[in-house]
Amino acid sequence: MFDLDHTLVRCDSFAGFNRRLLLNDWWRAALTIAASPAIVLLWSRKRTRSVAVSALLWIGTIGQSGRLDELMSAFVTRQFASRSLVCTEAVAQLQRHVRDGDRVVVVTGAAESLARRVCARIGCDGVEVVGSTLRLWHGGWVGGESCKGDAKIRMLAGRRIEAPWDCVYTDSAADLPLLMQARRRVLVNPRPRSRARVAEVLGTDVEVVVWEG
């Protein structure tokens, strides 16, 4: 199992895509600013954070819902035109697992349709991808099922990918549900807070790697 954002790539791919959508037209940016008090309030509460994300995505896609695939492809081509945002050592590790005949799955909170394009662009094409879903709503796109935390396990099970996992690579303590059911756990360039949280739960039974390439 590999996480995508901040593990295989050094960015939040879906946040970057959403930001680009909002900046494509002046009126989308203006609408975002006008709605920002409500969006900030929704974002500040964990239970309603997904609503804030959906609101931003809807503003970014209203009126061009039929172009989502085109917009995603254009963003990925531009965002990863160079390798500066790619964790090449993590990608190389994924490719080694593929060559060894392992079943490799990228499981991510990013929209699955976007994650597939990112994986293909950075050299991880052909691996299985499980991610969040999107749905149409009143002429734009909003979030569907979120592939985060415990939901990752449920969505993996829906694809007949059952625990325990041989190995999980992630940067984040948000993936503790996955890590707890892995035989080998690898934290990739973790932030101090995530590293401390994982150590609190799992002790020393975790590998920490710093991949700068």
Kindly state the average pLDDT of the residues 71-85: 96
- Domains for the chain: give ranges and CATH numbers: 13-209 (3.40.50.1000)
Residue 177 neighbours by CB distance under 10 Å: 16
What gap in Å lies between CA 156 and CA 172, rounded to an integer? 18
For the whole model, what pTM was predicted? 0.95
Q: Is the dihedral of CA 29, 32, 37, 39 positive or negative?
A: negative
In this prediction, residue 212 carries a pLDDT of 84
> 135: pLDDT confidence band, cut at 50, 70 and 90?
very high
136-182 pLDDT, tens digit per residue, is: 999 999 999 999 999 999 999 999 999 999 999 999 999 999 999 99
58-70 pLDDT, tens digit per residue, is: 999 999 999 999 9
> 111: pLDDT confidence band, cut at 50, 70 and 90?
very high
* Residue 187 predicted with pLDDT over 80: yes
Inter-residue contact 144 to 150 (CB < 8 Å): no
In this prediction, residue 137 carries a pLDDT of 96
Percent of the chain whose pLDDT exceeds 70: 100
Which residue type does 28 have?
R
In this prediction, residue 195 carries a pLDDT of 96
Summary mean pLDDT of the chain: 96
> 192: pLDDT confidence band, cut at 50, 70 and 90?
very high
Which residue type does 25 have?
D
* Residue 126 predicted with pLDDT over 90: no
> 213: pLDDT confidence band, cut at 50, 70 and 90?
confident
> 46: pLDDT confidence band, cut at 50, 70 and 90?
confident
Rounded to the nearest angstrom, the gap between the alpha carbon of residue 169 and the centroid of all alpha carbons in its chain is 13
